[in-house]
Amino acid sequence: MQNNKNRLRHLVTACATAGLLGATATTAVNAAEPVKVGVMLPFSGVYAALGNAGRNGLKLALQQNAAQLHGREIEFLELDTEAKPERAPELASSLLDKDKADFIIGPVHSGVAMGMSKVLRNTDAIMIIPNAGAAAATGPLCAPNVFRTSFSSWQPSYPMGKVALDAGYKKVVTMSWNYGMGKESLEAFEESFTAGGGEIVKQILVPFPKTEFQPYITDIAATAPDAVFVFFAGGGAVKFVKDYDALGLKGKIPLLGSGFLTEGTLDAQGDAAEGILTTLHYADNLDNPTNQKFRQQYQDAFGKPADIYAVQGYDAGQLIAQAIDKLGGDISDRKALIQAMESSTIDSPRGLFTFSKAHNPVQDIYLRKVEHGENQVMSIAAAALEDPARGCKL
Amino acid sequence: MDITLFLFQLMNGVQYGLLLFLIASGLTLVFGVMGILNLAHGSMYMVGAYLAWYFTNTTGSFGMAAVISAIVALLLGILIERTLIIRLYRRNHLDQVLLTIGLIFVFNALQSLLWGNDPLGVAVPAWLDGAIPLTDMIEYPVYRLFVSLLCILIAIGMYLTINRTRLGMLIRAGESNRDMVECLGVDINRLYTLVFAAGVALAAIAGIVSAPMVSVVPGMGEHVLISCFVVVVIGGMGSIRGAFVGALMVGIVDTFSSIMLPQVSSMMIYILMAVILLVKPKGLFAS
């Protein structure tokens, strides 16, 4: 077991982003000791692309903001979670106890987030979640040292209820895989949709990770609702959108979704995705200078276009840099560090955002429509939307 | 459920079942004739889909890509049999399982290195990109009907080859007594290479024709492998006819349970398998 652990654990001491720029800036406190940033993301397996994007974004932000680090170097300790929840507690413990990491960035997968949170909440390390949307992480399991730079599962889906009502839809079928993120997304949609007088005529939960959607879509056609709201992501999103089109429902029953339905999947979905409406806290072609600059720099640095996962990792990096800057490089007082982080305003490619009491982003959610293979921003579906953080006592 | 809806769902089930048959037939053929349990069979399905994607992009034609991919898969099958599987014939099933599980990891790693981990998609070829309207709401895509037809043709082709040709006779003979066939002057090694490559090609063809209907993603092979084993076990290990009947049963049961018993639908095909094994412990058509 021990051996196995050592083998899997590939520890990278990537160095000296602060280096030259920082050294001239100030006489830094503890300059000799690097800030230890543990990274727990999936670098292999199905979510590898997401993990890599998050890591790239994180590193880019810390490089760009090197001047803010007051001479502190950053030491990255990278562990591959493989998106396996059962590995999470062990990996998190080793970063916490053995490496004494100051910050631990991760994960992508909500199950892994639960495992990490169990070990890390109320400890000395600051946990920053750059993707996993599980409501619990900033809900019942919220803690002073746990931050999130992505979203809660509630945030992207809640505004769609109002969008659907405004479009005049009264009866909607909802559908997703039968797992946490999917169910939480459907509930968030249902919450705002039924509050405004809409009716969920059927909720379909497909066993994860099954992708034989045809029977369900046939069933939707027989139900003939005003619209369909779904949560699917990745390969499942591609398959669902293709099946929906192939059985002829596209253009007859409008398809609405949480934004992940059309993130990173549009090439594979092709024409089948045209016209789909989604809500999300980001869109690739969002028209603001920070986003344009970020996308250009990301492309130059890594040779591929940035995506939402890169943005979320980038903002985790910005959050760290900003907090270190505020404290003049000395992050030994954890209380002061947490305060500095809580009061941060992040100039994100998605637009400015702040943090709620539960440490979740308070952010705009955009309504997007797929046109010519791109998510075109139509409007802001909900401005400065704050997760209700149900069950959080902070 | 009214009668139209019932018929639609039956079509969905039969279509899914036929595709399952195409994948499972290769698995059961290789097991039946050679006694080799190929866990990497699902990987061949994945390889087929990725090759179809790759060659569609490079040649610009799905039809051409399908032919090239099938040939590449056939050659890959020959290569694997000649270099690896050949060492397994005199060994037990555990060794076979170890090697073929290893192959799953190798193919997954290769897929990740060569083609990345993003979901990919293949467009339905233009000449099959129509749909037949069935009601105001539902239409049935021509491509999916075409795939079902292809599966039926391949099933008939396999039946005729095995039952009506000299090659089929040798295959059946090899199945029951390898040594005797060898004594009669037949080059059994060549026969095995052929059968294994055909098994690989069948899985790959299933992957190729699936590519425009599914998302081409990492792990697609493992998912399908489990359903295939259910099909093969229900039908009786090694029986092509059993695979056909088993696949249709699994397809139809899975489709209807998804709609009528959504809470337990993921268990239903395993319950079906368990019930059948209680009545016929070796499967429906065990030889």
pTM assigned to the model: 0.90
What percent of chain A is predicted at pLDDT more than 90?
Answer: 86
**pLDDT band, very low/low/confident/very high, at B11 (cuts 50, 70, 90):** very high
CATH number of the domain enclosing A376: 3.40.50.2300
Q: Above 50 in pLDDT, residue A27?
A: no
How close B109 comes to chain A (CA, Å)?
9
Name the more confident of A48 and A296. Answer: A296
Note whether A204 contacts B13, CB cutoff 8 Å.
no
Q: Max alpha carbon distance in chain B (Å)?
A: 64
Co-location of A145 and A187 in the same domain: no
CB atoms within 10 A of CB B5: 16
- Classify the phi-psi angles of A174: left when phi > 0, otherwise alpha if psi is within -120 to 50, otherwise beta: beta
Q: How far apart are CA A215 and CA B259, in angstroms?
A: 7
| Residues of chain B found within 8 Å of residue A206, distances taken between Cβ atoms | 258
Q: Is residue A308 part of a domain?
A: yes
Note whether B15 contacts A45, CB cutoff 8 Å.
no
Co-location of A175 and A140 in the same domain: no
Of A207, A211, A269, the CB nearest to B265: A207
Of B144, B223, B262, the CB nearest to A205: B262
How close B281 comes to chain A (CA, Å)?
28
Q: Above 70 in pLDDT, residue A21?
A: no
How close B107 comes to chain A (CA, Å)?
13
β partners of residue A366: A280, A380
Q: Output the CA torsion sign for B264, B266, B267, B272.
A: positive
Q: Above 80 in pLDDT, residue B123?
A: yes
Looking at residue A117, its pLDDT comes to 95
Average pLDDT for chain A: 91
pLDDT in tens, B210-229: 999 999 998 899 989 999 99
Note whether B118 contacts A49, CB cutoff 8 Å.
yes
Note whether B139 contacts A248, CB cutoff 8 Å.
yes
Of B15, B121, B131, the CB nearest to A267: B121
**pLDDT band, very low/low/confident/very high, at A44 (cuts 50, 70, 90):** confident
Looking at residue A31, its pLDDT comes to 54
Q: Is residue A108 part of a domain?
A: yes
Co-location of A242 and A299 in the same domain: no
pLDDT in tens, A131-157: 999 999 999 999 999 999 999 999 999
Identify residue A43 by its one-letter amino acid code: F
Helix (H, G, I), strand (E, B) or coil at B276: helix
Q: How far apart are CA A3 and CA A17, in angstroms?
A: 31
Co-location of A252 and A372 in the same domain: yes
- Helix axis angle, A308-326 to A48-64, nearest 10°: 30
| Residues of chain A found within 8 Å of residue B266, distances taken between Cβ atoms | 207, 210
Q: Scanning the structure block, which residue is given the tokens 């293949």?
A: B122
Looking at residue B45, its pLDDT comes to 98
Looking at residue B108, its pLDDT comes to 93
Return the exposure string of A258-289: e unless at least 16 CB atoms fall within 10 Å of the residue's CB, then b.
Answer: bbbbbbbbbebbbebbbebbbbbbbbbebeee
DSSP A363: E
Name the more confident of A301 and B116. Answer: A301
Q: Is residue A173 part of a domain?
A: yes
- Average pLDDT estimate for B18-30: 95
Co-location of A147 and A12 in the same domain: yes
CB atoms within 10 A of CB B154: 18
Strands A227-231 and A255-258: parallel
DSSP A288: S
Distances in whole angstroms, Cα of residue B54 to Cα of each of A10, A283, B31: 32, 28, 30
Co-location of A20 and A130 in the same domain: yes
Co-location of A146 and A160 in the same domain: no
DSSP A34: P
Helix (H, G, I), strand (E, B) or coil at A100: coil
Q: How far apart are CA B283 and CA B280, in angstroms?
A: 5
- A375 phi and psi, to 5 degrees? -80, 100
DSSP A199: E
Q: Above 70 in pLDDT, residue B20?
A: yes
Tell me which of A202, A208, A217, A218 to substitute to probe the interface with B (most B C-beta atoms closer than 10 Å).
Answer: A218
Q: Is residue A392 part of a domain?
A: no
Q: Are A190 and A161 in contact (CB under 8 A)?
A: yes
Residue by residue, DSSP assigns B120-172 as: B--PPPGGG--EEE-SSS-EEEHHHHHHHHHHHHHHHHHHHHHHHSHHHHHHH
Gyration radius from chain A CA atoms: 21
Query: In which domain, by residue range, is A142 found?
Result: 2-151+287-359
Co-location of A107 and A69 in the same domain: yes
What percent of chain A is predicted at pLDDT more than 70?
Answer: 92
CB under 8 Å, gap of 24 or more: what pairs does A133-137 form?
A133/A181, A133/A184, A134/A110, A134/A180, A134/A181, A134/A184, A135/A184, A135/A387, A135/A390, A136/A391, A137/A110, A137/A113
Looking at residue B138, its pLDDT comes to 86
- Average pLDDT estimate for B55-84: 97
Looking at residue A338, its pLDDT comes to 97
pLDDT in tens, A87-142: 999 999 999 999 999 999 999 999 999 999 999 999 999 999 999 999 999 999 99
Q: Where are the domains of chain B?
A: 3-118+138-279
Start-to-end CA distance of chain A, whole Å, equals 38
Helix (H, G, I), strand (E, B) or coil at A205: strand
- Average pLDDT estimate for A171-185: 95
- Written as six digits, the tokens of A357 are 């009491």
CB atoms within 10 A of CB B133: 10
Tell me, rounded to whole angstroms, the distance of Cα A370 from its chain centroid.
Answer: 21
Co-location of A73 and A117 in the same domain: yes
| Residues of chain A found within 8 Å of residue B143, distances taken between Cβ atoms | 246
CATH number of B3-118+138-279: 1.10.3470
Give the number of beta-carbon pairs within 8 Å between A and B. 114
Of A215, A242, A271, the CB nearest to B259: A215
Q: How far apart are CA A378 and CA A302, in angstroms?
A: 29
- The count of structural domains within chain A is 2
Q: Above 60 in pLDDT, residue B192?
A: yes
| Closest chain A residue by Cα to residue B144 | A246
Co-location of A132 and A23 in the same domain: yes
Of B16, B118, B119, the CB nearest to A212: B16
Residue by residue, DSSP assigns A44-62 as: SSTTHHHHHHHHHHHHHHH
Return the exposure string of A225-241: e unless at least 16 CB atoms fall within 10 Å of the residue's CB, then b.
Answer: bbbbbbbbbbbbbbbbb
Q: Above 50 in pLDDT, residue A23?
A: no
H or E stretch at A200: strand A199-206
β partners of residue A277: A256, A369
Identify residue A294 by its one-letter amino acid code: F
pLDDT in tens, B124-154: 999 999 999 988 888 899 999 999 999 999 9
Return the exposure string of A300-324: e unless at least 16 CB atoms fall within 10 Å of the residue's CB, then b.
Answer: eebeeebbbbbbbbbbbbbbbbbbb
